[in-house]
């Protein structure tokens, strides 16, 4: 499996990554952080303070911690079924 980098994050498996919500249309969702435990086409579940919190991808932006490197991603770029998104080529691959 290819390691997760800033360049391939949007086409990689997200479950198991540490993430923090950096921006959200819902004020209560800002600063939620934890481990991503599940993903659907439109949502991501984050384990936060021993609770599973489901957030809509299109209303938030995330900061993923890849080792010592924080990578910010708009949730809109992650919309899609996980199994389809990982197969998708980015414009950089063309």
The burial class, CB within 10 Å (0-12 / 13-18 / 19+), for 27 is exposed
Best CA proximity match to 17, nearest among 43, 45, 58: 45
- List beta partners, residue 5: none
Write down the pTM of the prediction: 0.83
> Which architecture, in CATH terms, is 9-86?
Roll (2.30)
27 by DSSP, 3-state: which?
Answer: helix
Note the pLDDT of residue 71.
Answer: 93
Note the pLDDT of residue 8.
Answer: 84
Note the pLDDT of residue 20.
Answer: 95
One digit per residue, the tens of pLDDT, for the chain of length 94 reads 678 888 888 888 899 999 999 999 888 898 899 999 999 999 999 999 999 999 999 999 999 998 888 999 999 999 988 888 777 665 554 3
Domain boundaries, the chain: 9-86
Torsion of CA 64, 47, 53, 19, to 10 degrees: -10
Pairing of strands 60-66, 69-74: antiparallel
Note the pLDDT of residue 41.
Answer: 94
């Amino acid at each position: 499996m290819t390691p997760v980098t800033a360049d391939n994050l949007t086409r990689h498996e997200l479950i198991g990554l540490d993430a923090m919500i950096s921006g959200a249309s819902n004020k209560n969702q800002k600063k939620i952080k934890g481990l991503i435990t599940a993903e659907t086409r439109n949502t991501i579940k984050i384990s936060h303070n021993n609770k599973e919190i489901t957030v809509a991808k299109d209303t938030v932006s995330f900061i993923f911690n890849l080792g010592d490197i924080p990578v910010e991603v708009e949730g809109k770029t992650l919309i899609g079924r996980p199994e389809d998104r990982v197969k998708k080529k980015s414009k950089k691959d063309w």
